[in-house]
Structure 1
Amino acid sequence: MDYGFLGWIVVGLIAGVLAKWIMPGKDPGGIIVTILIGIAGGLIGGYIGSMVGLGGGNLVNILLATAGAILLLWIYRLVKARQA
């Protein structure tokens, strides 16, 4: 199933919530920034997944998006910690 850009945004919203749940803690931007990072992670995860031939199932797409969101959230926390 091909979600397209809008579908990956919706999946990214879910991924942002899951990433926040998997990586609890105080984020510099709060839940809104975490969800936006989830959307970006969903788009990046979807893009990379489609490039390597992954995807097609709802669970795979959510896992790809969540992995992308977790990675971006981790990078975001590292950058913010160094700025402080």
Structure 2
Amino acid sequence: MKSFSIAFILVFLILQVQGKCNLPIPEYLHPLCGIARECVFDGGNEVDITNQSCRRREQGKPPFLKIENGYCESNQTQCPRYP
């Protein structure tokens, strides 16, 4: 039981350090366009879009309203990439 408790604490600490908006991004490209009211965001894949949507919420911005396959239209205002 003690080893389970230690393992649980370690996993909890690792997740806290990694952060909920920092899922590891896979090394494949599947362009997606995240659409918000005021801007669009070109994401490399669904994990990239998910992380940025989460970071937008942390910054007090609404998450993306819609996700579309492919790159966003270049004539639209680009959303900032939050670190």
Task: Using structure 1 for the length normalisation, give the TM-score.
Answer: 0.30
| Larger radius of gyration between Structure 1 and Structure 2 | 2
Greater strand share, structure number: 2
| Higher RCO structure (Cα 8 Å, ≥6 apart) | 1
Task: Using structure 2 for the length normalisation, give the TM-score.
Answer: 0.30
